[in-house]
Amino acid sequence: MMGRKRTMEDDNDSFQSTKKKLKMNNSKNLIEVNGDRSKLPIQMLTEEELVELIERRKAAMEKPKIYLTLKDLAEEYRKRMSKISENDVTEETCPPLFALDLQCLILNAIEGSISSYYPRWCKLLRQSKITSIVVMVINGVSLSDVLSNEDCFSYLTTNLPMHIEITPPLQYESSFEKEIFRVRLSESQWAAKIRDTKYSYEKPFKKVNEITNKADSRKLSKFVPEDPVDKFDRRLLLLNVIDMIQDGYPLPLLRDGMYNSFKFTKDKYMKLTANSPMFAVDCEMCATRYGRELSRIAVVNEKFEVLMDKLVKPRNDIIDYKTRFSGITEEMLRNVATRLEDVQKEFQQIIPADAILIGHSFCNDLIAMRMFHPYVIDTSVIYNLGKKNYKSGLSTLTRYFLKKHIQISLNGHSPVEDAIATMELALLKLRTGVDFGDMLSGCTVTSFNLSEQVGSQETSGNSKTITDGKSVYFNPTDDQLTQTLFDILNKVNKTNVVIGRDNSFPIEVIKGANVVTVDNDADCVKKAKKLIKKKQFVWLSLEDCVEERKLLKKKSYKKDKFRQIDGQIQKIAASCQPRSLFIPVFSGKTKKGQILNSGAYVHIT
């Protein structure tokens, strides 16, 4: 049957008619949107409203956006911690955040889509649209001060509600300036550094470390070069604190006391050198009513001498021996008297103060040992088989790179065998080249000798610098392995200014910065307001609350001071260019011997 063709006018008439019917049938819905008609279905909007909605969405796409991902982070943390904690870990429990987490956000905003730094606690969209980054540090004030005096911080809490709690750098004798201005080299940067004269060796660098144990050493796998020469500095394979945080390593700075029972592997640590010895560690665990607990541990040195191989009896009742994997049976542990505390004490005596520990997904072993250690090489990180965000198992890596099979016994794993394989993988990479084992960057399984031996031999000697357990995690092992934030800003042609007291900023971390000194906070805010429009990165540091801490003991003075700070935050926010990332930071403080928390607010202007 023939009919007339539909025209554009017919479609439009039909659309308008349908839209009128929808409006009539949904009069209740029109009331529920509270005046915001953009929430209505598109069919119910007028042509003018539809055009306006499209324009608004286009404008939104031109603006950067930031949102928190703390819920996802808390869920991951809960799953991990429920395996090791005797206490209940709620869904709201979030892992501790550090100044370095804030650094990741700043670096991600600076470098944009090319950045290798990604904050784990938030998402930043459309970084290229950010016009400037403004960080305002209020020293001598804690996040608790803000949250308990919201009436004094009315502008901040009303207009910048998005905030996070941060472990205070004061806990490990540092500052936000030191933590954020000093940036560890990215993987690609340190790979290039390895080819520099300081980190590559033309002549034999170092014979295998001499260990007091004189037992017969195990012969190297035929796939590990026999010449005991590191092609590059082994310190470059170490995990940094961000790696440790992201991979769930136990850190000694948790505010919730999750690791209260953990001990340090040494009372004091020496600064690492290129000669620092390596020890491979592997643990087997059984399941108890409180989670997984240590049941066997093996420690191997670079000569493959077994320094420790002990069965350990958990103090809590075992509900599953995990024999298929652990190799542990009820009979094996029946007459064992060794406890976790005995192993911890012996382990502390075995390793030196500059020991580098090697393991595969080693966070699990340290958690089983209930110990902290700052110098770690993780073979699950330094090797990959070309799958992004995926870690291969130890047996898989051993099969691919060492051409041998482990963990094939039906009676369970041997920690000695696993520790030896882990040490072999580490030595293979050190003696072959930095690119070896990194298939994401194009290395093949059989590509040997990828690094050219260039430059002259340089060693650091035996450092006698002693550092306490907490601060060693946040101190770089070598200043040559870091750069400053301002080096990065200059590389991407972004202007910067740092404003504060003359003694606010350590000289070693402000290389490349344009520093403006002031006498007081009022002057700092005044100068910042003028420079914010001209610079792409602005850092201002307020110090009045540190200098006036005695006066702040008076409640009325403290209230007035907090209102003044809130006003200063408002002035800086108003001076920011549109689409700026504005970050007020409260440094935390010491009160009656207790260090109170830090915090940061994040906002796109």
Q: What is the pLDDT of residues 201-230, one digit of tens each?
A: 444 333 333 333 333 334 456 677 776 788
Largest Cα–Cα separation, the chain:
100
Question: Are the beta carbons of 571 and 160 closer than 8 angstroms?
Answer: no
For residue 531, which phi and psi values (nearest 5 degrees)? -90, -20
Give percent above pLDDT 90 in the chain: 48
pLDDT of 357 > 50? The answer is yes
Strands (E), 473-592: 482-484, 496-500, 515-517, 537-542, 581-586, 589-591
pLDDT of 161 > 50? The answer is yes
Q: C-alpha angle 30/34/35, rounded to 5°?
A: 80
Residue 101 is predicted with a pLDDT of 92
At 232, is the secondary structure helix, strand, or coil? strand
pLDDT of 196 > 90? The answer is no
Burial label for 115, CB within 10 Å (0-12, 13-18, 19+), is middle
Residue 364 is predicted with a pLDDT of 93
Torsion of CA 78, 84, 88, 91, to 10 degrees: 0
Residue 31 is predicted with a pLDDT of 40
Give percent above pLDDT 70 in the chain: 77
The pLDDT confidence band at residue 603, using thresholds 50, 70 and 90, is very high
pLDDT of 84 > 50? The answer is yes
List pLDDT tens digits, range 279-324.
Answer: 999 999 999 988 889 999 999 999 999 999 999 999 999 999 888 8
Six token digits for residue 268: 């004091």
315 Ramachandran zone, left/alpha/beta (phi>0; psi -120 to 50):
alpha
Six token digits for residue 570: 């408002």
Sequence-distant (6+) residues with CB within 8 A of 476 are 182, 184, 482
Q: Could you tell me the CA-to-CA distances from 157 to 5, 152, 598, 600 in Å, in that order? A: 61, 9, 16, 12
Candidate from 61-75, 179-193, 234-248, 548-562 with smallest mean pLDDT: 179-193
Q: Residue 412 is inside which H or E element, if any?
A: none
Question: Are the beta carbons of 223 and 403 closer than 8 angstroms?
Answer: yes
Question: Are the beta carbons of 379 and 359 closer than 8 angstroms?
Answer: yes
For residue 470, which phi and psi values (nearest 5 degrees)? -70, -50
Candidate from 20-24, 412-416, 473-477 with smallest mean pLDDT: 20-24
Candidate from 232-241, 255-264, 323-332, 553-562 with smallest mean pLDDT: 255-264
Candidates 445, 423, 412, 60; CA nearest to 208 is 423
